[in-house]
């Protein structure tokens, strides 16, 4: 059986290799802080396996997270000059290879779909080839490895150090914001445990007119978008708004379709993702990588689409989820 744990170990190993590169990169004035940040993350990916099975204490992992927060929050991480192509070379290569550059990127979702739909049904000696329940994440990992090989073949690249250096450059450019979705998703779980959704639900019952389906649907969708704007992640907003409105009102009281309400409700949350700087890796990091003059340019460009999509999501739930 191919276990999802192996994929996480591989991710951790990649972070550790890049951390070692950062530690030796004298072009980065903050190389020690950068190496410590990403090195701790790599160790966490591996050590978490023993925390999950109860064979190791969780306290060291918590300390590592706090140290990473300090390193990122107080500006101890920076960016070096990795050995990779410059802007002129990238322009020349883009003109040379054209649309073939999209082949590696498209390989990842293709392999992920094949693994989750077809390979998930395969078994050897009665044991499934892919760990049960982890087919999608394993498909993503396998797809990334295959895409790496495809990319090196398409670009006629023989040295494995080239993609590692290029990946490190992207990692340093994104910085701590790369971890923001995971941190905010955990925040949603904390809010749910603290009972935020229950309290919001009580307030909702006080102000929501009885039997007004359109008002309830609009409140759920707009609430998903607003909480996503606040927390930067629809996955963090989902448990709060579902506990407050989605489950007790739309599903229990109004007998809505769970699949329709929940799936489209999540899409409503994604409308908030399009217009929040809290979703830094989606909205602020691209502006930095593209060197846009206005760091909020992507948000301004996406706002009309977000508003239109939110209206459509409200209509879809109202007309088709009941």
Sign of CA dihedral 2, 138, 278, 220: negative
CB atoms within 10 A of CB 89: 10
Q: 271, 313 in Cβ contact below 8 A?
A: yes
Q: Tokens in use for 201?
A: 């639900």
In this structure, are residues 208 and 250 in contact, taking their beta carbons and an 8 Å threshold?
no
- Give pLDDT tens digits for 83-117: 777 778 778 888 888 888 889 889 999 999 998 88
Any idea what the Cα angle at residue 66 is, between residues 270 and 70, rounded to 5°?
A: 90
**Given the structure tokens 């498209």, which residue do they identify?**
106
pTM of the model: 0.72
Q: Which residue has tokens 């007119």?
A: 209
- The encoded tokens of residue 243 equal 């506990």
User: How many CB atoms lie under 10 A from the CB of residue 117?
Assistant: 12
pLDDT digits (tens, 9 = 90+) for 141-183: 999 999 999 988 988 888 888 888 888 887 887 777 777 767 7
What one-character DSSP code corresponds to residue 2? B
| Region 284-312 average pLDDT | 87
Residue partners of 198: CB distance under 8 A and separation at least 6: 243, 244
Distance, CA of 8 to CA of 261 (rounded, Å): 32
Quick: pLDDT tens for 10-46: 999 999 999 998 888 888 888 899 999 999 999 999 9
Query: What sign does the dihedral 4-6-9-15 (CA atoms) show?
Result: negative
The Cα–Cα gap between 175 and 72 comes to 8
Backbone torsions φ then ψ of 182, nearest 5 degrees: -65, -40
Q: How far apart are CA 218 and CA 231, in angstroms?
A: 20
d(CA 226, CA 247): 18
Domain ranges for the chain: 1-81+159-193, 87-158, 195-320
- pLDDT value at 274 more than 90: yes
SS3 159: coil
The answer on pLDDT for 209 being more than 70 is: no
pLDDT at 319: 94
């Amino acid at each position: 059986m191919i276990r999802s744990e192996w994929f996480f170990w591989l991710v951790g190993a990649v972070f550790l290799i890049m951390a070692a590169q950062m530690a030796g990169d004298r072009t980065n004035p903050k190389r020690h802080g950068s190496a410590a940040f990403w090195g701790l993350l790599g160790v966490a990916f591996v050590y978490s396996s023993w925390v999950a099975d109860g064979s190791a204490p969780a306290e060291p992992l918590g300390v590592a997270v706090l140290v990473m927060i300090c390193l990122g929050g107080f500006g101890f991480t920076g960016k070096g000059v990795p050995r990779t192509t410059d802007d002129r070379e990238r322009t020349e290569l883009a003109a040379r290879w054209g649309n073939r550059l999209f082949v590696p990127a498209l390989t990842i979702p293709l392999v992920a779909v094949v693994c989750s739909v077809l390979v998930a049904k395969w078994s050897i000696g009665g044991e499934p080839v892919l760990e049960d329940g982890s087919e999608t994440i394993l498909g993503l990992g396998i797809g990334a490895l295959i895409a790496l090989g495809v990319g090196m073949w398409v670009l006629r690249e023989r040295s494995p150090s080239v993609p590692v250096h290029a990946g490190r450059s992207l990692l340093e450019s994104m910085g701590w914001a790369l971890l923001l979705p995971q941190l905010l998703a955990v925040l949603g779980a904390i809010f749910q445990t603290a009972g935020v959704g229950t309290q919001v639900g009580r307030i909702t019952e006080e102000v929501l007119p009885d039997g007004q389906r359109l008002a309830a649907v609009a409140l759920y969708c707009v609430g998903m978008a607003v909480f996503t704007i606040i927390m930067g992640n629809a996955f963090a907003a989902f448990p709060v708004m579902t506990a407050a409105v989605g489950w007790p009102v739309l599903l229990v009281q109004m007998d809505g379709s769970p699949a329709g309400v929940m799936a489209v409700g999540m899409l409503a949350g994604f409308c908030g993702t399009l217009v929040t700087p809290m979703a830094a890796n989606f909205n602020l990091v691209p502006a930095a990588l593209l060197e846009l003059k206005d760091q909020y340019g992507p948000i301004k460009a996406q706002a009309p689409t977000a508003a239109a999509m939110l209206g459509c999501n409200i209509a879809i739930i109202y007309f088709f989820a009941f």
